[in-house]
A and B are shown apart, each in its own frame.
Chain A
Amino acid sequence: MGMLLLSFLQSPAQQLPTTVQIRVIHNGRQCSAPAEITASFGGHSLRIPVREGKFEAPPELVAAQSVTVETDVKDSHIRLTKIAGADFAGSWTLRLAERADDDYYEWPGPKGANIAASCMLELDNGHEDPARVRFEEHCRSKKK
Chain B
Amino acid sequence: MIKDSNSPTADDKTGGFHEEYAVAGLNASGGWVVSRDKPGPYANPDTADHVSPSGKPANQEVANSIVDPRVAAHVHPSGTTATHSWVQGPSGADRAAALPGQINIVFGARDHKVYFYNSAGVIGKPMKLKDFLGQ
A and B from one complex: yes
B45 at the interface (CB under 8 A from A): yes
B80 at the interface (CB under 8 A from A): yes
- Closest-by-CB residue of A relative to B83 is A135
Across the interface, B86 reaches (CB within 8 A) one of A86, A91, A133, A135, namely A133
A90 at the interface (CB under 8 A from B): yes
Interface members, chain B 31-62 (any A CB < 8 Å) = 45, 49-51
Closest chain-B Cβ to A27's Cβ sits at a distance in Å of 17
- Closest-by-CB residue of A relative to B85 is A133
B82 at the interface (CB under 8 A from A): yes
Report chain B residues within 8 Å CB of A136: 83
A135 touches B84 (CB 8 A): yes
Give how many A-B residue pairs fall within 8 Å (CB-CB).
69
Q: A107-B85, A126-B96, A136-B83 are in contact. Are A131 and B111 (CB under 8 A)?
A: no
A110 touches B82 (CB 8 A): yes
Number of B interface residues at 8 Å Cβ cutoff, please give it.
23
Across the interface, B91 reaches (CB within 8 A) one of A102, A128, A134, namely A128
Q: Which of A107, A125, A130, A134 has the most CB of B within 10 A?
A: A130
Report chain A residues within 8 Å CB of B91: 124, 126, 128-131
Number of A interface residues at 8 Å Cβ cutoff, please give it.
21
B4 at the interface (CB under 8 A from A): no
Q: A91-B92, A129-B50 are in contact. Are A107 and B110 (CB under 8 A)?
A: yes
B83 touches A124 (CB 8 A): no
B45 touches A132 (CB 8 A): yes
Interface members, chain A 103-144 (any B CB < 8 Å) = 106-107, 110, 122, 124-136
Report chain A residues within 8 Å CB of B83: 110, 134-136
Whole-angstrom CA separation of A125 from B93 in the bound complex: 8
Whole-angstrom CA separation of A127 from B92 in the bound complex: 7
B88 at the interface (CB under 8 A from A): yes
Q: Which of B50, B87, B96 has the most CB of A within 10 A?
A: B87
A128 touches B80 (CB 8 A): no
Q: A106-B88, A135-B85 are in contact. Are A129 and B94 (CB under 8 A)?
A: yes
Q: A106-B111, A107-B80, A107-B110 are in contact. Are A129 and B93 (CB under 8 A)?
A: yes
> Can you offer 27 A-B residue contacts whose CB atoms are under 8 A?
A91-B92, A106-B88, A106-B110, A107-B110, A110-B83, A124-B92, A125-B49, A126-B93, A126-B96, A128-B49, A128-B50, A128-B91, A129-B51, A129-B91, A130-B50, A130-B76, A130-B86, A131-B91, A131-B92, A132-B45, A132-B84, A132-B85, A132-B86, A133-B45, A133-B87, A135-B84, A135-B85
